[in-house]
Structure 1
Amino acid sequence: MAYQYIISRSLDPIFAVSIGLAAAATRVNREEKEKGRSAAQTVHVFRRRVGLWWEGGAKN
């Protein structure tokens, strides 16, 4: 049986990345709510985490 694409050959990778990003955002949001932080603080933490990843984790 041949592999069947979820959406299409070109859109499946984009779909997978978007699901991964949504999962990461959900995890960060849940962790920050458990720590009692506000939505604005959560956005700041998410931007910092993305910045650390983007810069290779060299800065704190």
Structure 2
Amino acid sequence: MPAAYLISRTIDPIFAVSVGVVAAAVRINREEKEKGKTTQETIESLKRRTAMLFGSDQPAIKAVEK
């Protein structure tokens, strides 16, 4: 019996990862809204955290403003 693929052998894993990332983003946004934060505050927090993760000296927000 051949393997069954939703789209194709190579695109199925990409599709699965993208669905997972979107689901995580929706959950994080919903939980942050329950805490009283706006979507914009959540995005700014994410930008600061990714800047720290990749070793940037300045937060991504300030680097864009310059």
With the length of structure 1 as denominator, give the TM-score of the two structures.
Answer: 0.72
What residue number does 1:42 align with? 42
User: Separation in 1 of the partners of 2:33 and 2:25?
Assistant: 12
Q: Is the Cα contact below 8 Å between 1:29 and 1:42 reproduced in 2?
A: yes
State the number of aligned residues: 55
What residue number does 1:14 align with? 14
Any runs of at least 4 consecutive aligned residues in structure 1 with deviations exceeding 2 A, and if so which?
Answer: 45-49
Gaps of 5+ in 2: 55-66
Gaps of 5+ in 1: 56-60
Equivalent position amino acid for 1:29 in 2: N
SS at structure 2 position matched to 1:37: coil
What residue number does 1:58 align with? none
Amino-acid identity (%): 53
What residue number does 2:58 align with? none
With the length of structure 2 as denominator, give the TM-score of the two structures.
Answer: 0.66
Q: Which has the larger radius of gyration?
A: 2
Cα root mean square deviation, aligned: 2.3
Of structures 1 and 2, the one with the larger relative CO (CA 8 A, separation 6+) is 1
Q: Is the Cα contact below 8 Å between 1:25 and 1:46 reproduced in 2?
A: no
